[in-house]
């Protein structure tokens, strides 16, 4: 079929066949061209002109293109839309080729493998991953940040839902699967915005340790195989895979991270207003990334937490040294991504200047650390490697302000290479000679505006305006080019010098590029040392960041209890406090221990129940990150997991209602929580009928109290539940205070013992400026309901006892005629079994199982 096309189009189709899921950027001269469907799709996505060309077939071929020199912007736009781009270059010199120039794809750029551009954020990792399905319900997950070389492995147990949550938690941009996992690929594509790619080969690598779990190892080998195949280069900056051991970190699931707004806000989906936004006082990009990693995975080991706190305390006490450190860190560029660019081969001279400036700060930083006279600080920098030999190489080799391009020279320092100096001297002297020649010719001809110029096509020339041509009567001048307003000439002397100057310039540029490649290869050898240095510097950056935040917002050093008790005195929500500029913020206490592990929180909407619950979780997370916390005093247990059910939102993608999402998140906490966990449940059960919701809420509270023992904060509008304080010894009623002033509700945001006495719901509706007539009617109805003098919404319809409305069944019922039949003995037995169930003492899961068993019997 392809025989009808020209040889060039046949070549295009042959290459395109291997990259069906990518746009093929096919290099033709100074353009990347696209053909056929690629051209139609790209012209729409990039909003560029769609044209056509003759390709040898019966019809003209759709075509569009982008200039080679500005292709990067177009590639970024396609990647932002979730597309892949295969870069196809000429791999042989057209001058030495008969027929079609040989072309090959030199790189496949995907949303997960970008190395530069607007898709990257300085203070965020850019992870892609691979998933391997193991036996039963196990998954191996490998992740890699190609920009920094970081590689990690983790093993998961659970359903595909657990896997999806982990991929979302890691903020994976692209995931690689084997082709036999099409069903998993479909679920990922339907439920997330993650790009799915396929790879069936596994590559052996020293980056994957032999002791790793088999499923995780295969995921790592698949990921490496994909990276090597698509990037087509050595990738020397990739680090050995590091196994993430979940038992070392607090487990915060995706929904809890989202509900607590750790790294982005729920409403705006942005960084501003999140805990990360508040805490980020880092001065380096790699420090910012490490801060986010620490926030995603707070520590479980008390010794490790207290080690961080000890260093934060040191930096907090030493203000002047900390400020000196912050000033030096400003001058440290992103060592991790610079190392990645060196390995990738897209580093330029300006990048090497950034690397040099960064390394020049290391001795100063080390000196500041030693001036603290602290053993714990000295230990942190004891193995710091300033890479002095690399600093020396870059100081000798690269000028202070090099040009951006490495193809036009001008970036190698004088004295670095003798041969290059000779070429530059010849070129410089030649230019001096040209200036002298211009002066001489002006004097000789009397033409004051005579000038010597240069362009790539005609070389050097003498330009004389047409108004002055009559003054020229020198036979040495040979006309070279005619312009509208001037004539350009060449003389024998200029012709002779031109070859010398141009030859020196050409040789100088070629030699500079050759020397730069050699320097880049030498820098490659330092990559492991640079990566280790980056880890130390970024750790210092995050610790000084914690100290800066602690001083700025008056945070205190937390202590950790051995008996699991929690005592927070005058705790604050860190983000809300900052947004309010500390004005009128009301701090609150919290005391939980083995004897009293649960708060039941009542109070009106907008009074601050959710803020109070969140602040307890955020204080605990900050403490286990190794940070000071917003409180006057904080004695905390070390939590192994944090679960939240705050807010309500339908999961429209998977077709789940608000109530189902609520129940699934609650189940996740109830099934996985331990006595060392923290649970925040905000108004559980409000997504269903009042009695159902109240029953579920009470059953959950009883189950957590009797069978789990987690520290729990449970807010509710069901005031009837406050009676549980008399039945559950570990539960305490507290309420968020509100009062009435001149008929208006005033929220005091103060948490006090005991249950709330009023709901203030109508007052809140009044604050929302609902119509006054509506508010007045609501008050009348409320009064009548409270006094029992009016039957709500009764109509003059005769309703028999059998016809009274009841709650809708979850199950399909038989026709009404069948209901009129007398119950059989089998039905009587089922009814008897149903009547015997003590629902109020069952867990939600036990109730569901019992109901399912009865349903099976009924259907037989």
Tokens of 91: 């791999």
Extract the runs of DSSP E, i.e. beta strands, from 71-121: 85-90, 103-109
Q: With contact defined as beta carbons under 8 Å apart, do 197 and 178 qualify?
A: no
Q: Tell the burial category of 157 from Cβ atoms under 10 Å away from its Cβ (0-12, 13-18, 19+).
A: exposed
784 has binding-site annotation: no
Cα(236)–Cα(530) distance, rounded to whole angstroms? 13
CA-nearest of 724, 734, 725 to 756 is: 734
Sequence-separated (6 or more) residues with CB below 8 Å from residue 322: 315, 316, 544, 547, 548
Residues 6+ apart with CB under 8 A from 801: none
Q: Which helix (H) or strand (E) holds 486?
A: strand 486-490
CB 620 within 8 A of CB 636: yes
Of 100, 102, 87, give the one whose Cα is nearest residue 231.
87
Sheet arrangement for strand 103-109: 51-53, 61-67, 31-35, 23-28, 85-90, 103-109
Q: Is the dihedral of CA 215, 216, 219, 224 positive or negative?
A: negative
CA 583, CA 562: separation in Å to the nearest integer?
35
- Residue 606 labelled as part of a binding site: yes
The response to whether 604 counts as a known ligand-binding position is yes
User: Per DSSP, which regions of 21-76 are E strands?
Assistant: 23-28, 31-35, 51-53, 61-67
Task: Order the strands of the 478-482 sheet from edge to edge.
Answer: 451-455, 459-465, 486-490, 478-482
Return the H-helix or E-strand segment holding 312.
helix 302-317
Q: Cα separation of 465 and 471, whole Å?
A: 11
HSE of 684, CA atoms in CB hemisphere, 13 A: 27
- 607 known member of a binding site: yes
- CB-CB neighbours of 749 under 10 Å: 20
Estimate the crossing angle of helix 302-317 against helix 527-553, to 10 degrees: 70
Is residue 21 classed as helix, strand or coil in its secondary structure?
coil
Output the known binding site for ATP: 603-610
Annotated binding site: 603-610
């Amino acid at each position: 079929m392809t025989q009808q096309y020209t040889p060039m189009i046949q070549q295009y189709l042959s290459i395109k066949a291997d990259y069906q899921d990518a746009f093929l950027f096919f290099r033709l001269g100074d353009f990347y061209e696209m053909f056929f469907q690629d051209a139609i799709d790209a012209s729409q996505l990039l909003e560029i002109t769609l044209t056509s060309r003759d390709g040898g077939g019966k019809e003209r071929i759709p075509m569009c293109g982008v200039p080679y020199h500005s292709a990067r912007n177009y590639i970024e736009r396609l990647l932002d839309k979730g597309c892949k781009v295969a870069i196809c270059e000429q791999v042989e010199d057209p001058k030495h080729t008969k027929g079609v120039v040989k072309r090959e794809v030199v790189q496949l750029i995907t949303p997960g493998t970008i190395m530069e551009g607007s898709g990257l954020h300085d203070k965020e990792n850019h992870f892609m991953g691979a998933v391997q399905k193991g036996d039963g319900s196990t998954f191996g997950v490998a992740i890699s940040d190609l920009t920094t070389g970081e590689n990690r492995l983790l093993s998961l147990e659970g359903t595909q839902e657990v896997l999806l949550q982990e991929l979302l938690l890691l903020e994976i941009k692209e995931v690689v699967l084997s082709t036999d996992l099409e069903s998993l690929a479909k679920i990922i594509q339907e439920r997330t915005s993650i790009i799915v790619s396929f790879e069936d080969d596994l590559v052996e690598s020293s980056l994957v340790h032999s002791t790793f779990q088999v499923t995780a190892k295969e995921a790592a080998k698949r990921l490496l195989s994909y990276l090597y195949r698509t990037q087509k280069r050595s990738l020397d900056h990739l680090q050995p895979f590091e196994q993430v051991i979940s038992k070392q970190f607090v487990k915060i699931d995706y929904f809890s991270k989202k509900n607590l707004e750790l790294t982005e806000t729920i409403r705006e989906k942005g960084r501003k207003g999140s805990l990360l936004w508040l805490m980020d006082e880092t001065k380096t990009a790699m420090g910012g990334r490490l801060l986010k990693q620490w926030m995603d995975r707070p520590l479980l080991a008390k010794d490790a937490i207290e080690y961080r706190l000890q260093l934060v305390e040191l930096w907090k006490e030493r203000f002047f040294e900390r400020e000196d450190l912050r000033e030096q860190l400003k001058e440290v560029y992103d060592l991790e991504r610079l190392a990645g660019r060196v390995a990738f081969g897209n580093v330029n001279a300006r990048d090497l200047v950034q690397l040099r400036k960064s390394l020049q700060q290391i001795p100063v930083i080390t000196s500041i650390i030693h001036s603290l006279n602290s053993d714990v600080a000295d230990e942190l920098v004891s193995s710091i490697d300033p890479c002095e030999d690399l600093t020396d190489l870059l100081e000798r080799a690269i000028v202070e302000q090099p040009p951006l391009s490495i193809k036009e020279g001008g970036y190698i320092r004088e004295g670095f290479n003798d041969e290059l100096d000779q070429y530059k001297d010849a070129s410089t002297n030649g230019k001096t000679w040209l200036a002298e020649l211009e002066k001489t010719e002006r004097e000789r001809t009397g033409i004051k505006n005579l000038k010597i110029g240069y362009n790539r096509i005609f070389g050097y020339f003498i330009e004389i305006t047409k108004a002055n041509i009559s003054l020229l009567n020198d036979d040495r001048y040979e006309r070279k080019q005619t312009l509208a307003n001037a004539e350009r000439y060449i003389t024998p002397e200029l012709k002779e010098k031109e070859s010398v100057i141009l030859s020196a310039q050409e040789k100088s540029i070629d030699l500079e590029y050759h020397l730069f490649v050699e320097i880049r290869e030498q820098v490659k050898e330092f990559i492991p040392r640079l990566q280790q240095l980056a880890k130390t510097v970024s750790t210092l950056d995050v610790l000084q960041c914690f100290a800066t935040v602690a001083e700025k917002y008056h945070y205190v050093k937390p202590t950790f209890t051995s008996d699991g008790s929690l005592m927070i005195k005058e705790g604050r929500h860190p983000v809300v406090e900052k947004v309010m500029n500390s004005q009128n913020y009301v701090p609150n206490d919290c005391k939980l221990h083995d004897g009293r592990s649960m708060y039941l929180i009542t109070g009106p909407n907008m009074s601050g129940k959710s803020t109070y619950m969140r602040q307890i979780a955020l204080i605990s997370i900050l403490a286990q990150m190794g940070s000071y916390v917003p409180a006057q005093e904080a004695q905390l247990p070390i939590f192994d997991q944090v679960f939240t059910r705050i807010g309500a939102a339908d999961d429209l993608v998977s077709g789940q209602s608000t109530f189902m999402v609520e129940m699934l998140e609650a189940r996740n906490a109830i099934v996985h929580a331990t006595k060392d966990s923290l649970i925040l449940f905000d108004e559980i059960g409000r997504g269903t009928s009042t009695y159902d919701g109240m029953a579920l809420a009470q059953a959950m509270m009883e189950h957590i109290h009797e069978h789990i023992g987690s520290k729990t904060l449970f807010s509710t509008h069901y005031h009837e539940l406050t009676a549980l304080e008399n039945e559950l010894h570990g539960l305490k009623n507290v309420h968020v205070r509100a009062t009435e002033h001149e008929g208006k509700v005033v929220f005091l945001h103060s948490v006090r013992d005991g249950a709330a006495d009023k709901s203030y719901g109508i007052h809140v509706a009044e604050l929302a400026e609902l119509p006054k007539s509506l508010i007045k009617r609501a008050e009348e109805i409320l009064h009548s309901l409270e006094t029992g003098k009016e039957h709500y919404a009764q109509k003059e319809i005769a309703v028999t006892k059998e016809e009274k409305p009841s709650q809708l069944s979850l199950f399909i019922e038989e026709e009404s005629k069948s209901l009129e039949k007398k119950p059989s003995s089998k039905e009587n037995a089922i009814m008897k079994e149903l009547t015997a169930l003590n629902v109020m003492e069952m867990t939600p899961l036990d109730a569901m199982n019992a109901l399912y068993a009865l349903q099976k019997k009924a259907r037989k």
